[in-house]
Amino acid sequence: MEHPVYGQLTGQLHLSSRYDVGQFLQKVSRSGARPLSALTGGVHLHTILCPDEAAWHRVRAALDQAGFLYTGP
């Protein structure tokens, strides 16, 4: 994600399952921490690694259906 003051911010979440995501969200909720996307108006990037092309298509379709893909202005 790019921030006008800080430049590019990166971090590794190491989430590989729905369980991991749930645990991460619970941790964020318990800590009261604001997500890093709060610094960028909600627009940010993720790198997603998939075991094969079929998995990539499933992930991309699910993200698109949820409205999470940014296609630009």
pLDDT, tens digit, for every residue of 14-71?
A: 998 999 999 999 999 999 988 877 887 777 888 889 999 999 999 999 999 998 887 7
Whole-angstrom CA distances from 61 to 1, 7, 30, 54 are: 22, 30, 31, 11
pLDDT band at 11 (very low <50, low <70, confident <90, very high): confident
**Is the model's pLDDT at 9 over the cut of 70?**
yes
pTM exceeding 0.75? no
Name the E strands within the chain. 2-3, 7-8
Higher pLDDT, residue 20 or 7: 20
Extract the tokens encoding 70.
Answer: 């940014």
**Is the model's pLDDT at 1 over the cut of 70?**
no
